[in-house]
Amino acid sequence: MARVRVTKQFGFEMAHALWNYDGPCRNMHGHSYRLYVTVTGHPIKDNSNPKHGMLIDFGDLKKIVNEAIIDKFDHAVMISSEVPPERYANMEMILENLKVANYQPTCENMVVDFAERIKNKLPRGVELFSLRLDETATSYAEWYASDNPQKQK
């Protein structure tokens, strides 16, 4: 039975600021992010199943990613928890979707966070293969399952 990969693209708008960074990205700024979610597995081989021939229904993948990522981060402002609270206390008064992450909100760290949020929500037999997060038209970070083996429990 052939193993296949399918990919779905998502978009969201988000601002961030990099704490203690030595360049202009230390200031709050926004991006139009593009997230490519690639899953792998074997297509369903069951004529009685309405998903026959599919690895995953793109609509089901969309629902998973929207709930785990897009609905939470679209039009949010993200900063690191390392920022002293007094530096952003007043921001919470005007920002309804301020995310204080336990990491520096770089594209690299975000793609790792997003992988964790998605991979355990996938249906049985469907595995997260990779994520690609475009921060700009020419810059992106990637996460591959093969580079991040699961720890045995």
Query: How far from chain centre, in Å, is Cα 100?
Result: 16
DSSP-assigned states of every residue in 40-107: EE-----TTSTTTT-SS-HHHHHHHHIIIIIHHHTTEEEEETTS-HHHHTTHHHH-SSEEEESS---H
Tell me, yes or no, if 29 is annotated catalytic. no
Tell me, yes or no, if 107 is annotated catalytic. no
Tell me, yes or no, if 135 is annotated catalytic. yes
pLDDT value of residue 49: 92
The pLDDT confidence band at residue 152, using thresholds 50, 70 and 90, is: low
How do residues 89-142 score in pLDDT, each as one tens digit? 888 778 889 999 999 999 999 999 999 999 999 999 999 999 999 999 999 999
Q: Is the pTM of this model over 0.85?
A: yes
pLDDT value of residue 86: 85
Residues near 125 by beta carbon (within 8 Å), at least 6 away in sequence:
41, 42
CB 41 within 8 A of CB 57: no
Domains of the chain: 4-147 (3.30.479.10)
Catalytic member of 75, 82, 92, 116: 75
Give the Cα-Cα-Cα angle 19, 83, 18 (nearest 5 degrees): 20
CB 144 within 8 A of CB 151: no
